[in-house]
Amino acid sequence: MRILHGVQLYHPVASGAGRYFREIGERLAAEGHRVTVLATDACDLEHIWMSGRRRIEIPVETFNGVQIVRLPIRRRPGPPVLYPALRRLMTEISRLPNTTSLLRRLALWTPQWPGVAAFFEQYGPFDLVHATNITLDFAILPVFAYAQQHGIPFICTPFMHLGEPGSRTIVRYYSMRHQIDLLRKSDRVIVMTGVERDFLAAQGVPHDRLRVVGVGVTPEEVQGGDGNRFRADHRIRGPLIVFIGALAYDKGAIHLIEAMQRLWRNGHTATLALIGAPLAHFDTFYARLPNTDREHIRLLPYAPDSVKRDALAAADVFALPSRTDSFGIVFLEAWCYGVPVIGARAGGIPDVIVEGQDGLLVRFGDVTGLAQAIRRLLDDRVLAQRLGAAGRDKTLRHLTWERVYKRARAVYAEVGAV
């Protein structure tokens, strides 16, 4: 079968969605299917709306049996704030009836993807289209239109970011009228958790088309880190808290630093390791930190996987208090090392971390609660070890990529694609 995966950020970008499609696509390719990934040239997410960020220069390559075609995006002239301002305007327009068509046009106004039509002429036809990241709809709408035009199955994995319970601050950017309309018309919608499934069903997406698949890890690929090497390389003595993810406010990176500042003011000597691509507002925040605080932080913006493994092997606590995670693969990676985890009561995370059983949950933005949770795990090592061991057991039993692939492949089979 000829399968097209539409993924805005793909290899070598460290992206949860990119990793998900790598695991599925490479296994499909190993079975003999022709898998093509249509991606942007963005290496940093901010490249989509901001010049000066990293991009990938290679337009076409084959990696692990999967063909990758990267098309450059084109932004409308104007300051970087133009894109978020437009998206905010769209959320307001979405509150009005009969605005689906207008929203669809606005979604394609900026950024633009001018090479898509030529891509289909050169690399098509396809028997199935599977696209992702509903908030980056400028890249989903063209491939959805192709599937509709040619009468082929269309699957969407939206990776909904639901944010905090009872708040629309985040979810409004993932549930505009045109986005929900696309999901309603998809042949199948793959979701990460039951929380995401129930939300979309309440928005009118047919329940019989929703499939919970989730994400996973390959334990033998994740394990093998050298904690002693990480501590020696980065001059770390004493407790270590690790964060892996985009360095951004919505991911909880800033709140985590503020929580650690409270511990440091009280005489705690723990070190904080931050691993991930920094967004511009984080760079501004970090530059203003006192030197006395930065001495306790190891900032590793674009660390390779080997360093991430070493960091997890060295960690006493893993914390990702994010409100923009559909699932959080990094929790599973931390659990592979038996490390206790802290997440936020937001998005799909409460379906991943069971409070008090395999991790701790805090309210997003609750710096005091986050500091208390970190201190609790550092002080009560019996509790920390019990939570980490329970998470490791759950991951090894239920949350491997092999299990995830079987569920995803079953969805493909439902629409007659494999």
What pLDDT does 416 receive?
Answer: 83
pLDDT bucket at 15, cuts 50 / 70 / 90 = confident
User: CA–CA separation, 5 vs 131, rounded Å?
Assistant: 6
Work out whether the CA dihedral 26, 244, 200, 216 comes out positive or negative.
positive
Peptide bond into 114 cis (omega under 30): no
Find out whether 182 and 144 touch, Cβ atoms under 8 Å.
yes
Q: If 0-12 CB within 10 Å is exposed, 13-18 middle and 19+ buried, where does residue 229 land?
A: middle
Cβ neighbors of 257 (< 8 A, separation 6 or more) are 272, 274, 285, 286, 289, 293, 297
Where in the sequence of the chain do the CATH 3.40.50.2000 domains occur? 2-216+400-414, 220-398
pLDDT bucket at 417, cuts 50 / 70 / 90 = low
User: CA–CA separation, 389 vs 192, rounded Å?
Assistant: 23
- In angstroms, the Cα distances linking 204 to 130, 192, 194, 318 are 21, 18, 15, 37
Average pLDDT, the chain: 96
* Tokens 């949350």, located at residue: 399
- In angstroms, the Cα distances linking 168 to 35, 171, 323 are 36, 5, 12
Quick one: average pLDDT of 40-54?
92
| C-beta atoms surrounding 69 within 10 Å | 17
Quick one: average pLDDT of 348-352?
94
Task: Reduce the secondary structure of the chain to three states and give it as a string.
Answer: CEEEEECCCCCCCCCHHHHHHHHHHHHHHHCCCEEEEEEECECCHHHHCCCCCCECCCCEEEECCEEEEEECCECCCCCCCHHHHHHHHHHHHCCCCCCHHHHHHHHCCCCECCCHHHHHHHHCCCCEEEEECCCCHHHHHHHHHHHHHHCCCEEEECCCCCCCCCCCCCHHHCCCHHHHHHHHHCCEEEECCHHHHHHHHHCCCCHHHEEECCCCECHHHHCCCCHHHHHHHCCCCCCEEEEECCECCCCCHHHHHHHHHHHHHCCCCCEEEEECCECHHHHHHHHCCCHHHHCCEEEECCCCHHHHHHHHHHCCEEEECCCCCCCCHHHHHHHHCCCCEEEECCCCHHHCCCECCCEEEECCCCHHHHHHHHHHHHHCHHHHHHHHHHHHHHHHHHCEHHHHHHHHHHHHHHCCCC
pLDDT bucket at 137, cuts 50 / 70 / 90 = very high
pLDDT in tens, 251-301: 999 999 999 999 999 999 999 999 999 999 999 999 999 999 999 999 999
* Tokens 């599937």, located at residue: 147
Third-level CATH fold of 220-398? Rossmann fold (3.40.50)
> Torsion-angle region of residue 166: left (phi > 0), alpha (psi -120 to 50) or beta?
left
Quick one: average pLDDT of 48-57?
92
pLDDT at 161 over 80: yes
pLDDT at 356 over 80: yes
Third-level CATH fold of 2-216+400-414? Rossmann fold (3.40.50)
What pLDDT does 322 receive?
Answer: 96
pLDDT at 24 over 80: yes
pLDDT at 418 over 80: no
Q: Which two tokens stand for residue 362?
A: 């805090």
Give the relative orientation of helices 305-314 and 329-336 as an angle to the nearest 10 degrees: 60
pLDDT in tens, 211-240: 999 999 999 999 999 999 999 999 999 999
| C-beta atoms surrounding 60 within 10 Å | 9
* Tokens 């239109």, located at residue: 145
Peptide bond into 72 cis (omega under 30): no
Q: If 0-12 CB within 10 Å is exposed, 13-18 middle and 19+ buried, where does residue 159 land?
A: buried
